[in-house]
Structure formats: structure tokens, C-alpha cells
Amino acid sequence: MFKILKYSFFDLIRSRWSYVYLLFYLLLGCVLLFLNNDLSKAVITLMNVIIILIPLIGTIFGVMYYYNSKEFTELLLAQPIKRSSIFIGQYLGVALSLSMSLIIGLGIPFILYGLFQSNEIWDFVLLLVTGTFLTLIFTAIAFNIALYNENKIKGFSYSILFWLFMAVIYDGLFLMSLIAFQSYPLDSFSIGATLFNPIDLSRILIILKLDISALLGYTGAVFQKFFGTSFGLLVSIAALSLWVIVPLLNMYRKCRKKDF
């Protein structure tokens, strides 16, 4: 597994796209800090970018990599290697190289700007942790979708749809159900509903660190009581981990049975 991981990882590292991705974050970080001159503002803007862009890049990259390296995968399958280690190795290769681009790309400008001397360091670390989680989650789901669909076009469109659903449509449904049932107590429902969407969950985690003043109004206090405590943080991290583990297990199951 590690050989394959290493192979995929270095293959990706050498490819143009991870450089572009890395450069994009480097540029974004530099420009934000240059324009804002304020670490906390930069973190807010980055959050907006990260919770939308990382899932999108994760899904597209994952699907693309799977389909592109399909012939090589078939070649590997002819060798005496466990199937699960081939796929999971490839997955980890993609996910880790994407996460590395994110961490290095954003880390360098912020460290140069003096992150370690500021109070924002924990917000920034949280941002990177959620970003990494989102990469892991959406790449895993992309691999799942690709495993289920031989047809490239179908695979691509399903994964884009999945991203669209999580990033936009889910919130729309969520909002509609909140308005429809507004005469009922909705606190635990809304906390539950956010746990079911990794994008929402990451957004809430970061928002509670930043936009506290608005959220702390009456209802905000309920959410703050849950997500703001270490218990809430643990639950959130656990939910995010589940979002990684479940698709991975499914991938493991599916790739063993799949007919090539």
C-alpha cells in the first residue's frame, strides 16, 4: 500500500496541477494579507474560499485521477497486490498531495507575515485542519463515485452534482425545513443537520471562532454552547472523521468485489 501511496504521491507532486494548486494558495494568501493587513480578516475571507473551493477541487481531482490512471490501475491489478491497497494507496496519494498543497500554500505567507506572534494562530490551525478534512472527505467520495461508474461523463457529473448538493442545495433544503417548522423548537434539529454536512460543519466551526458577536444573540448562544465547548469540538471532529471513514470502508468493500 505504501509503495503505491508513494508512487501516486510523487506522480502527483511532479504533475503540473499540484503546482498550480499550490501556487494558487500561495498567491491567495499573499494577496489577502497584502490587501487586508489584518490576520483575522484574512482568515475570514480564506474561510469563504476554503469551504467552497476545497470540496470542489477535491472531487474533481479525485475523479480525474481515478479515470486517468485507470490503465495503470489495471496493470497493477494483474500483479500480486491486494486490491484494497492499490485503491486506498492511490486515494491517500491524491488526498495527501492536495492537503500538502493547501497547508504549504497557505502556511508560507501566513508564517512569513508573523502568524506565530499573533493570537489568530488557533483560528488558522482550525482553518487548516478543517481544510484537510474536507480534502480527505471529498476525495474519498469522488473515488467512490468513480468506482461505481465506468462511464467518465457520468462519474464527473455525479461528483459535480454531489458537490453542488453539499455546498448549495443542502443549505437550501435546510433553510426551507427550518422555515417550515419554525413553530417547533429547532435547536437540536439544526445542530443535527449541520453534523450531516461536512461543509456546513466546517463553516460553523470556523464562524464560531470569528463572528461571535452576531451568533451570540439568543439562538446563537445555543449553538455556541454546543459547538463552542471542547465537547462540541470533539463531536464535530468525530463527525468529520466519520465522513472520511465511511466512504473509505465503502471503497474497501466495493473495490474487492468490482469486476474489471
Partner 1 sequence: MCLLKNFLIGSMLFCGLQITAQTIEVCNGCPVSSLKAAIKMAQAGDTILVKRGTYKEYNIVVDKPLTIKGENFPVIDGEDQGEIIRIVSDHVTIDGLFIVNVGTSYTSDHAAIRVVRSEHFLIQHVVLEKLFFGIYIEKSNHGKIYHNTIIGDAQDEYNSGNGIQLWYSKHVVVEKNNVQKVRDGIYLEFSDNITINENTSTNNLRYGLHFMFSNDDLYTNNTFENNGAGVAVMFSKRIKMLNNTFKKNWGTAAFGLLLKEINDAEIKGNVFEENTVAINIEGSNRVVYSGNDFISNGYAIKVLGACYTNTFEKNNFLYNSFDVSYHSKINDTIFQHNYWSSYTGYDLDKDGVGDVPYRPVKLFSYIVNKTPETIILMRSLFIDIIDFSEKVSPVFTPDNLLDMTPHIKRYK
Residue 166 carries which DSSP code? I
Among 128, 127, 119, smallest CA distance to 39 is for 119
Element (H or E) spanning 218, and its range? helix 218-227
Considering beta carbons, is residue 41 or 152 the nearer one to partner 1?
Answer: 41
Considering beta carbons, is residue 150 or 187 the nearer one to partner 1?
Answer: 187
> Which residues neighbour 55 within 8 Å (Cβ) at sequence distance 6 or greater?
134, 137, 138, 163, 166, 167, 198, 199
SS3 at position 228: coil
Residue 258 carries which DSSP code? -
Closest distance between partner 1 and the C-beta of residue 52, in Å? 6
Considering beta carbons, is residue 67 or 165 the nearer one to partner 1?
Answer: 165
Closest distance between partner 1 and the C-beta of residue 144, in Å? 23
Considering beta carbons, is residue 80 or 217 the nearer one to partner 1?
Answer: 217
Closest distance between partner 1 and the C-beta of residue 192, in Å? 11
The footprint of partner 1 (CB under 8 A) covers 41, 47-48, 51-52, 167-169, 171-172, 174-175, 178-179, 182, 186-187, 189-191, 194, 200, 203-204, 207, 211-221, 223
Residue with cell 479515470: 67
Considering beta carbons, is residue 102 or 207 the nearer one to partner 1?
Answer: 207
The separation between the first and the last C-alpha atoms of the chain, rounded to the nearest angstrom, is: 20
Closest distance between partner 1 and the C-beta of residue 178, in Å? 5
Measure Cα distances from 104 to 108, 129, 177, 195 in Å: 6, 13, 40, 28
Among 171, 159, 16, 21, smallest CA distance to 101 is for 21
Considering beta carbons, is residue 115 or 186 the nearer one to partner 1?
Answer: 186
Closest distance between partner 1 and the C-beta of residue 220, in Å? 6
Closest distance between partner 1 and the C-beta of residue 138, in Å? 15
